[in-house]
Amino acid sequence: MKPDYLAKLNLWFLEEMAAVKAEGATDKDFEDPAVADLALRKVFEEHFDEIEADGDLADEAFAAVSDKTLPLDLRKLALQAQDQGNLKIGHYLGLIADYREAKGV
């Protein structure tokens, strides 16, 4: 994934976290992989027009939220995000990968 795409997804994810926290969620709630996965899906829905307008971003965003994305591929995205600095999305992609692996996805 291109660095600017990860940074954009990270920013949107942080905005989504802030919105959910404003409704009463805590950081601990986001440690639940299902909540993190839902937040990523919501990012995709809320920014669909912008994502759709950029085919490369669409491919990358879909890979991050697709149920069909293998845990190994999510971990690769997570490592890329972590290598780029303090991108929280990397941590959450790793959680989602663990969650999907445990579910046998």
pLDDT, tens digit, 9 for 90 and up, residues 9-24: 889 988 988 988 899 9
pLDDT at 15: 92
Find out whether 51 and 57 touch, Cβ atoms under 8 Å: yes
Q: What percent of the chain is modeled with pLDDT above 70?
A: 96
Instruction: Give the domain extent around 77.
Output: 3-103
Tell me the pTM.
0.73
CA distances from residue 3 to 15, 18, 72, 84 in whole angstroms, order as listed:
18, 22, 19, 7
pLDDT at 3: 56
Mean pLDDT along residues 50-79:
83
Mean pLDDT along residues 87-97:
86
Higher per-residue confidence, 94 vs 62: 94
How many folded domains does the chain comprise? Answer: 1
104: left (phi over 0), alpha (psi -120 to 50) or beta: left
> Is residue 1's pLDDT more than 70?
no
pLDDT at 87: 81
Find out whether 10 and 87 touch, Cβ atoms under 8 Å: yes
